[in-house]
Amino acid sequence: MAFTPSSGPCFPTTRLRRPRAHDWSRRLVGESRLSVDDLIWPIFVTDGPDAGAEVSSMPGVIRRDVAGAVEAAEEAASLGIPALALFPQTDPGLKDPQGSYALDPENLVCRAVRAIKDSGAKVGLVCDVALDPYTSHGHDGVLENGCILNDESVALLVSQALVLAEAGADVVAPSDMMDGRVGAIRHALDNAGRQDVMICAYAAKYASAFYGPFRDAVGSAANLGQGDKRTYQMNPGNRDEALREVALDLAEGADMVMVKPGLPYLDIIAAVKQEFGAPTFAYQVSGEYAMIRAAALNGWIDGDKAMVESLLAFKRAGADAVLTYFAPMVARLLGR
């Protein structure tokens, strides 16, 4: 006997499956969308013999020499990716306790920035302001008797930001989590006639277990050893503190704020966007990339679908842009 739906109240008048029935209707009612315009591509630059070599813990990610960085910028421009973020693998012989090489106008990142600008590639350049790729101890600041000195570190970070701005960086991105560094950098940039250089503050950067592959890529893992960064990076259990950090950085002149890592902190991204309405970026960090990529390479998940779904989650949470190592892959996928 055929089943005939009753006209009684047990059958819904509102059926949310109706708009899901067709591709065209799903697109019409879609709430969050991922675009190439949302992507920032982090790349690793090197001067050493590792140029062109894959980062072992990040399948598909390579270190690039200056010429390779230019090629990446041209590739990004051709794909419509708005910006690159540059991170150096520093020669161990150039590291010291103060991270002095970070202040050298001829350092690796400065040379890569100038080369990309000279190439005419139409991409923005975001440059990290932090000392950990340059210090012999692997910390983001000046280390004395086991303590990271805040104000002494800020003075060095200001000098680093000025060097990067002079080289042609469009955005300087202090990722160190020292107190007061955003205001000090903004003041110094303005006094140097660099009012147009933007600051993307890593405002809520957590002391996370997801950074391991990045530290391998830039060569700071061995320097840091068994040390940790919990005295300056945030406690993963704290939410209210993140909002206080963001408020301070915006008050000090940040143009954009960053939450890092990404997927484990979607609630923080959402809270920051809702509370402040400021440009809010997220960093899909190396550990997040490595997990998705490794699972895909092992055939455990559909890599393309997982990649896009993970990035769409950032948009749903309220992120305006995402730093992701997947950027060229997803740009090609979205361009099909």
Is 132 within a domain? yes
Percent of the chain with pLDDT over 70: 96
Side chain identity, residue 299: G
Q: What is the pLDDT of residue 336?
A: 61
Is 241 within a domain? yes
* Residue-number span of the structural domain to which 100 is assigned: 34-334
* Mean pLDDT within 121-131: 97
Q: Read off the pLDDT of residues 276-330 as tens digits, 9 standing for 90 and up.
A: 999 999 999 999 999 999 999 999 999 999 999 999 999 999 999 999 999 999 9
Q: What is the pLDDT of residue 238?
A: 98
At residue 226, does pLDDT exceed 90?
Answer: no
Is 11 within a domain? no
Query: Which listed residue (95, 205, 229, 315) is catalytic?
Result: 205
Report whether 259 contacts 280 (CB < 8 A).
yes
Is 60 within a domain? yes
At residue 198, does pLDDT exceed 90?
Answer: yes
Q: What is the pLDDT of residue 119?
A: 97
Q: What is the pLDDT of residue 50?
A: 82
Structural domain count of the chain = 1
β-strands 124-129, 142-144 pairing: unpaired
The DSSP secondary-structure symbol of 66 reads H
Is 111 within a domain? yes
Of residues 243 and 227, the one with the higher pLDDT is: 243
Query: Which listed residue (95, 229, 260, 273) is catalytic?
Result: 260
Q: What is the pLDDT of residue 7?
A: 56
Q: What is the pLDDT of residue 216?
A: 81
Q: What is the pLDDT of residue 202?
A: 97
CA–CA distances in Å: residue 146 to residues 9, 142, 143, 180, 231: 69, 10, 6, 21, 11
CA distance 101 to 108: 9
User: Which CATH number does the domain housing residue 281 bear?
Assistant: 3.20.20.70
Is 16 within a domain? no
At residue 234, does pLDDT exceed 70?
Answer: yes
Q: What is the pLDDT of residue 228?
A: 86
Least confident of 88-92, 217-221, 319-323, 331-335: 217-221
* Mean pLDDT within 65-94: 96
| Average pLDDT for the chain | 94
Q: What is the pLDDT of residue 158?
A: 98
β-strands 280-284, 83-89 pairing: unpaired
CA distance 242 to 263: 16
Is 27 within a domain? no
Q: What is the pLDDT of residue 9?
A: 62
Q: What is the pLDDT of residue 3?
A: 56
User: Coil, strand or helix: which one is 259?
Assistant: strand
Using CA atoms of 258, 263, 265, 271 in order, give the dihedral in degrees to the nearest 10: 70
- Residue 44, φ and ψ in degrees, nearest 5: -105, 130
- Strand (E) positions, the chain? 39-46, 63-64, 83-89, 124-129, 142-144, 147-149, 171-174, 198-205, 256-260, 280-284, 321-324
- The DSSP secondary structure of 20-34, one letter per residue, reads GSSHHHHHHT-----
Is 137 within a domain? yes
Side chain identity, residue 86: L
Residue 54 labeled ligand binder: no
Q: Is 260 annotated as catalytic?
A: yes
CA distance 158 to 187: 9
Q: Is 95 annotated as catalytic?
A: no
* Mean pLDDT within 239-264: 98
